[in-house]
Amino acid sequence: MTDEGNKARRIAIVSGKGGVGKTVIAANLAAALSSLGRRVLVLDADLGLANLDILLGVDPQFTVQDVLRGRCLLDDVLFHTRQGFDLLPAGSGLPEGTLFTTRLVDVFDSVLGSLENRYDVILFDAGAGVGDVVLHFANLAHEVLLVVTPEPTSLMDAYAVIKILNKLHERKEFLLLVNQANPKSYMQVGASVAQNLQSVISQFLGANNPVRLDLMGCIPQDPAVPDAIKRRQLLGETAPQAASTCRISQIADALNLRIGQSL
């Protein structure tokens, strides 16, 4: 991993379990950051079950797996979306996308090396869980944005992700985003989730091994989200005034400040 100032800031968006809205957040954050003037690339890093293209309502001709197989060049795969950011799509239902191989590592090292000077930020929309491919993308990132919901199973799995990344890759800082919170008290829910998760981390990972959570924000449950998904559009297109849209914009503002400090 590199921290050179002239390179794109890499942010891995991960979750302990599926169904927490990680891909929706990745796409909408990309659009919000693009609207702030950032050059943004989203890499669909869920290589076995990629679906960012479906969410965005696009049909790319090639995927990153085609680069892996030597069928096309990298620039043939890059897809410029109508929302202003670039997408590096992956395939779905491909078993090789779940296998952590030397060839896979080499290809993505080459891909990132050739792209990181073109963008201000690269978002990895990683798969759920703690598989080797997910952990590899998390390790490649400068920052890890962990998406959770208030449900106990989501929090338990989030703690597992934190523990494994800390033990295997000595990751000590995580950005936290709480999604699908009670709309009547979502700010309080977000603060409570962050506090409780931080308490568990401190208790079980130990005071001599400090791991810090930075709460980036909380997004309320919002009927505008499933509606946008059904339409295969982003929230800014279908419901620009919705509560979830506004919260994602605020989180993008906070991320934009962090990106600016690192470039």
pTM, rounded to two decimals: 0.93
Three-state secondary structure call for residue 91: coil
Does 2 score more than 70 pLDDT? no
User: What is the Cβ-side half-sphere exposure of residue 13, based on CA atoms within 13 angstroms?
Assistant: 29
Q: Per residue in 191-249, pLDDT tens?
A: 999 999 999 999 988 767 789 999 999 999 999 999 999 999 999 999 999 999 999 99
Of residues 249, 59, 28, the one with CA closest to residue 123: 28
Q: Is residue 133 part of a domain?
A: yes
Task: Record the tokens describing residue 192, joined without a space.
Answer: 């409570």
Per-residue confidence (pLDDT) for residue 98, from 0 to 100: 57
Look at residue 39 and give its three-state secondary structure: coil
Q: Is the pLDDT of residue 150 over 80?
A: yes
Please indicate, yes or no, if residue 111 is contained in any of the structural domains: yes
Beta-bridge mates of residue 212: 173
> Within a domain: residue 1?
no
Residue 163 forms part of a structural domain: yes
Q: Is 31 a member of any domain?
A: yes
For the chain, the average pLDDT equals 90
CATH code at position 85: 3.40.50.300
Range of the domain at 47: 9-262
Does the pLDDT value for residue 93 go beyond 90? no
Q: Which residue has the tokens 């962990």?
A: 146
Predicted pLDDT of residue 21? 95
Number of folded domains that form the chain: 1
Tokens describing residue 128: 């759920």
Answer yes or no: is 65 within a domain: yes
Quick check: 94 pLDDT over 70?
no
> 13 by DSSP, 3-state: which?
strand
Out of 2-16, 45-59, 170-184, least confident range: 2-16
Note whether 65 and 94 are within 8 A (CB).
yes
Helix (H, G, I), strand (E, B) or coil at 145: strand
- Record the tokens describing residue 131, joined without a space: 């598989």
Q: Judge whether 4 lies within some domain.
A: no
